[in-house]
Chains A and B, each alone.
Chain A
Amino acid sequence: MEQLLQQIASGLASGAIYACVALALVMIFTATEHLNFAQGEMAMFSTYLCWQLLQWGLGFWTALAIAAGLSFIIGVLIERIILRPLQGASALSVVVVFIGLLAIFHSMAGAIWSHTIKTFPSPFPEVAFAGSGIIGAHQIGMVAVTILMLSALFAFFRFTTLGLAMRAAAQNPTSARLVGVNVDWMLALGWGLAAAIGAVAGAMVAPVVYLEPNMMSSILLYGFAGALVGGISSPGGAVFGGFLVGVLENLVAYFGNLTEKMFGVYIIGNGEKLSVALIIVITILTLKPAGLFGHVITKRV
């Protein structure tokens, strides 16, 4: 039983990361209807930036804030310079550009910081507390930071004029333009925010998975799965989906282990993590493309 609780707790912790990535994906999707395949690599690159700042002797939170700020700028620049000219281009062109970005970020990180695995410090102290057998300090910290960031984002979108303008630009660009919202810049800001969220997610997960250029590849896939489960057009749904997928992933591994122990048959385990994500993605896409909370997209002919 304790093991099960442990698995759920660590599922929630990794779910927090998937939720962040899913949210970043949804932010870009609602604004531009693009699925950003480079999101994971961008987050990985931001994490390296953070690591570099840490190496230069900055404190963890300062380093993270600067890295998030830099990522914000990178995100805005990418939207303004690379994606802006592609407005109205075919899906294939956009996908190809994303793959190009993925390749560039991946190899640049490898070139600048080498492919060797690096440890990444956790900002949370290793203290023992009631229930620390079930959930570690860093895991609680991950969840807390995620929830804090999500609340801040929610407040930003709900209570500030800029947030309102960004929502308007994403939902109805034409009308937003008519009431004086600079839609182009709102899209760029959306990209910047997504990149900054990615930076935080990366810095939170790096102490667990270690820092290396491939660290985000499976996380990105789970982020996609989470976004799809919740509904790719619903930010709240994406966050919920991220947590759900995180717990699901750990439970699958747990019950896989259990069946192996009880019946001696190996069906599924940690080695099949990505296959589980694949199955989730394809099942959701075929059975319920709008996800749990997304609105159904109707096509007018």
Chain B
Amino acid sequence: MSTPLQKTAIAAAQAVNDLMRKGAVAVEPAPAAPAATPAMDVATDAPAMRKRSRVLIPALLVLAAGSLVLFGGKGGLISDFQYLQLSLILVYAIAVLGLNMLTGFNGQISLGHGAFFALGAYTAAVMIEHYNLNYLATLPAAAVFCFIAGYLFGLPALRLEGHYLALATFALATAVPQILKYKHIEGLTGGVQGINLIKPEAPFKLALSSDQWMYLVVLAMAALMFWLARNLLDSRPGRAIMAIRDQPLAALTMGINTAHYKATTFGISALFVGIAGALHAIIFEYVSPDSYAFSLSVAILVGAVVGGIASLPGALIGGAFVQVIDKYADAATKQLTAMVHLPIDLEPWTIYGILLITLVYVMPSGVAGGLAQLKAKWKRR
């Protein structure tokens, strides 16, 4: 006969064992996972890959920045508009990365990260418009505000799991445009009209257009954020964050302060998304309540799911997907409609939805996870 307490202890011990076993084989994502079980990030975990990426990533960064000299300028191969597109891809990648940290690595679902994107964007816009601050100074401010907001929202969210957390964040996302239109803050936010900004010029009399300059700024920020994320996840707190996702009970019994970590991860995740929002406001030169509707939160989630929910490179793929879909989905859907002779004009969201559902079945670990699996298969051959 065993008392309930003993039962609990036995279950906890089993869970700890489970966790340790999992930790040992964590680099191998389950190949035929039936659903989107967050797969460990292969690329950042393997030491050989890390050595290679130490050379590869700076090289890519230099290349990305150097593209300005090679292709930019008047009559260059890449136009200002295309630089803006590239910047937007990177901005969304930062946002997707932020959601990935929370959903992919900590196991908390959020349908409301558009709210933190909006908070970051409005922080930047209000500070530039009303306090004449330099745009670069608004980034740390947006980071701090969003961290606090995220941490505070994360506190009640502690008691919520899975579907319930999704519901709370869903409510947040739906309410955002209304909150931004609230009468008493209209003086700051500009109400329904929003705020128009002016894109900053390149400093030091550099021969760069403002789009090119902002591309460099965004590139630097993205590199910084990805570096921070990788290092955080690679550290002791990072392992705690992932342990909470895999075995919450075992993590607790091993002495991890689950509540503290969960709320902090929420804050950090909001911080990333907030910085993305601030950068977006600056390069897009405009904020308004209705640009931060529920569909933005969906877009960020879709980016995370498409790229790979627990993958850092996946965030980049996800960011690209969000921007490309945003820009080209209309044209692509029209072509598709014409191609299969449908009687009605399909809308991009239809494709979005079908793609999402298909992805959950076909590639549960996202494009990044799918590629990693393909590679593993190819190597084994």
Contact = CB atoms under 8 A, between A and B. Distances in A.
Contact of B350 (A35, A107, A217, A274): A107
Contacts of A110: 347, 349
A163 to B, nearest CB: 26
Consensus secondary structure, chain A interface: helix
Contact of A103 (B37, B171, B174, B353): B353
Contacts of B298: 99, 103
Contacts of B171: 221, 224-225, 274, 277-278, 281-282
Interface string A214-256: 0001100100110010000000000000000000000000000
Contacts of A112: 344
Given A93-B36, A282-B171, A82 B164 contact: no
Given A92-B36, A286-B159, A281 B353 contact: no
Contacts of B372: none
Contacts, number: 159
A108 to B, nearest CB: 6
Given A96-B36, A271-B182, A272-B182, A278 B175 contact: yes
A34 B163 contact: yes
Given A93-B364, A108-B350, A274 B164 contact: no
A301 interface: yes
A269 to B, nearest CB: 8
Contacts of A167: none
Contact of B181 (A34, A224, A228, A271): A271
Interface string B163-179: 11011101110110011
A18 interface: no
Contact of B301 (A86, A89, A99): A99
B31 interface: no
- The winner among A90, A107, A221, A224 for most chain B CB atoms within 10 A is A90
B347 A90 contact: no
A80 interface: no
Consensus secondary structure, chain B interface: helix
B349 A104 contact: yes
A113 to B, nearest CB: 9
A101 B354 CA distance: 8
A96 B182 contact: no
Given A101-B357, A107-B349, A281-B168, A95 B163 contact: yes
B179 to A, nearest CB: 6
26 contacts: A82-B357, A86-B360, A88-B34, A93-B360, A96-B36, A96-B357, A97-B360, A103-B349, A107-B353, A108-B347, A111-B346, A218-B174, A221-B170, A221-B171, A271-B181, A272-B178, A274-B175, A278-B175, A281-B167, A281-B171, A285-B156, A285-B159, A286-B156, A301-B7, A301-B12, A301-B249
Interface of B: 7-8, 11-12, 34-38, 103, 109, 111, 156, 159-164, 166-168, 170-172, 174-175, 178-179, 181-184, 249, 294, 298, 301-302, 305, 309, 344-350, 352-357, 359-361, 364
Shortest 9 CB-CB contacts between residues of A and residues of B: A89-B35, A107-B349, A91-B162, A103-B353, A104-B353, A100-B356, A107-B347, A286-B156, A100-B357
Interface of A: 33-35, 37, 82, 85-86, 88-97, 99-104, 106-108, 110-112, 217-218, 221, 224-225, 228, 266, 269, 271-275, 277-278, 281-282, 285-286, 289, 301
